DNA sequence: TTATAAGTTGTATTGTTAATATATCTTTAA
DNA sequence: TTAAAGATATATTAACAATACAACTTATAA
């Protein structure tokens, strides 16, 4: 189970822009930074623009920047905008109602509730929260195992000179 | 964003078995009922057997049945067993640590928490909760659309009996 | 003891769609 | 008026879920 890289990259673009607040970034620069397809990114940026997350400026000297401050960009809103469906199982799709259990099955409601729980957790965080490396645990939920999933990513010896830290 | 049909079908198999508690069902019968690939179902049933959800009996007169009563089969446990990963974004995969934001990015923790919220919701339900006690025969005969499932997951209304029965 | 009905296992193929690539636009500041 | 930037449309590739095929093992009824 996963989010599409489309949404993943959209998130990265916003994070990148949040780190360069005082100038226009451009697509080539961002695709180079993340080492991902520029062509793919073009579409993502376009959608980010049409959904009101970034401001794009054509022409020489143009580029892109956040359309709102990071505190006003909600992660849940972003994910809902970029993922093109949340059909957890077949019967969520109005065009695919083939399951013979349909009328009497309680599964759909359960999965819908679970999906909502997922998105509501994302609704509790803004771009500012994730860019700073802190998530609003106190807002979202207090149980917070917090870093029970730490086994894999913590290494990663940060190439240090990485990005231009919010010059 | 979706669950694989592999997991979807596993759920359906368990629901079917919950509806036929007094006899051995078999794979052909189930694949016919749902009109899905028997060969695909074979693998699913095998995994359901090896994970302890169903009891399979070879040989003439054999078949499959639930290994535990429906009240003891947890939906979250099932989904965790059948989905082969929960790598919400690239950096969850230990073999794909390519994102240059990794060390300072709070996104992973947020998504992990959201994923946990999703699964915890499923952990709160058993097979008995989602199977409404209708027999496959009755379901087959009704066949009418009449689903009353509004097509999107917005409906919610959280039937309040979210029941985390025992376990 | 044998024929058959069942699940088991491994591999190959297909289909879908996300991801990527190519090409040609339009816009705009210098 | 040119170069740099995003916009748009279409085509191709690649990954992988889904499906199909084939041969196996096991168990039991006759």
- pLDDT, tens digit, 9 for 90 and up, residues A100-128: 887 778 899 999 999 999 999 999 999 99
Please name the member of B106, B136, B149 whose beta carbon is closest to the beta carbon of A130. B106
Q: Which of residues 35-74 of B touch strand C (CB under 7 A)?
A: 39, 42-43, 45-46, 49-50, 56-64
pLDDT of A132 = 64
Coil/strand/helix, residue A41: helix
Q: Does any domain span residue B158?
A: no
Q: Does any domain span residue B149?
A: no
Task: Give A25-81 pLDDT, tens digit per residue.
Answer: 999 999 999 999 999 999 999 999 999 999 999 998 899 999 999 999 999 999 999
- Beta carbons of B117 and A117 less than 8 Å apart: yes
Q: Where are the beta strands (DSSP E) in A36-165?
A: 54-57, 63-66
- Would the pLDDT of B3 be above 50? yes
Q: How many domains does chain A have?
A: 1
Q: Is the CB of A4 under 7 A from strand C?
A: yes
Chain B residues near residue A146 by CB distance under 8 angstroms: 109
pLDDT of B41 = 93
- Would the pLDDT of B105 be above 60? yes
- Name the strand (E) or helix (H) holding A19: helix A5-19
- Provide the CATH number for the domain around residue B130: 1.10.10.10
Q: Does any domain span residue A146?
A: no
Using a pLDDT cut of 70, give the percent of chain A over it.
Answer: 78
Please name the member of B89, B100, B139 whose beta carbon is closest to the beta carbon of A100. B139
State the burial class of residue A120 (Cβ atoms within 10 Å of its Cβ: 0-12, 13-18, 19+): middle
Residue range(s) defining the domain that contains residue A45:
5-140
A98/B103: higher pLDDT: A98
pLDDT of A134 = 55
Task: Name the residue of chain A whose CA is nearest to B85's CA.
Answer: A1
B144/A19: higher pLDDT: A19
pLDDT of A133 = 59
- Would the pLDDT of B127 be above 90? yes
Q: Does B6 touch chain A (CB under 8 A)?
A: no
A114/A146: higher pLDDT: A114
Q: Does any domain span residue A19?
A: yes
Q: Does any domain span residue B22?
A: yes
Q: Does any domain span residue B46?
A: yes
Please name the member of A83, A110, A140 whose beta carbon is closest to the beta carbon of B125. A110
- Beta carbons of B117 and A118 less than 8 Å apart: yes
Q: Does B132 touch chain A (CB under 8 A)?
A: yes
Q: Where are the beta strands (DSSP E) in A60-112?
A: 63-66
Task: Give B57-76 pLDDT, tens digit per residue.
Answer: 988 888 999 999 999 999 99
Chain A residues near residue B83 by CB distance under 8 angstroms: 1
d(CA A104, CA B147): 8
Q: Does any domain span residue B37?
A: yes
User: What are residue A65's DSSP bridge partners?
Assistant: A55
The pairing of strands B63-66 and B54-57 is: antiparallel
- Would the pLDDT of A12 be above 90? yes
Q: Does any domain span residue B157?
A: no
Sign of CA pseudo-dihedral B2, B85, B163, A103: positive
pLDDT of A151 = 32
CA distance B26 to chain A (A): 17
Coil/strand/helix, residue B121: helix
Mean pLDDT for chain A? Answer: 80
């Amino acid at each position: 189970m996963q989010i599409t890289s489309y949404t993943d990259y959209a998130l990265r673009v916003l994070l990148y822009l949040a780190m360069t607040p005082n100038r226009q970034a451009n697509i080539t620069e961002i695709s180079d930074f993340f080492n991902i397809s520029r062509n793919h990114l073009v579409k993502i940026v376009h959608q980010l623009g049409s959904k009101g997350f970034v401001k794009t400026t054509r022409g020489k000297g143009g580029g892109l920047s956040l359309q709102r401050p990071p505190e006003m960009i909600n992660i849940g809103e972003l994910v809902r905008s970029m993922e093109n469906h949340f059909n957890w199982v077949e019967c969520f799709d109005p065009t695919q109602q083939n399951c013979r259990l349909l009328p009497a099955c309680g599964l759909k409601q359960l999965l819908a509730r679970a999906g909502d729980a997922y998105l509501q957790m994302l609704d509790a965080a803004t771009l500012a929260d994730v860019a700073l490396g802190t998530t609003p645990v106190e807002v979202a939920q207090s149980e917070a195992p917090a870093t029970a999933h730490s086994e894999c990513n913590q290494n990663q010896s940060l190439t240090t000179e990485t990005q231009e830290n919010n010059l």
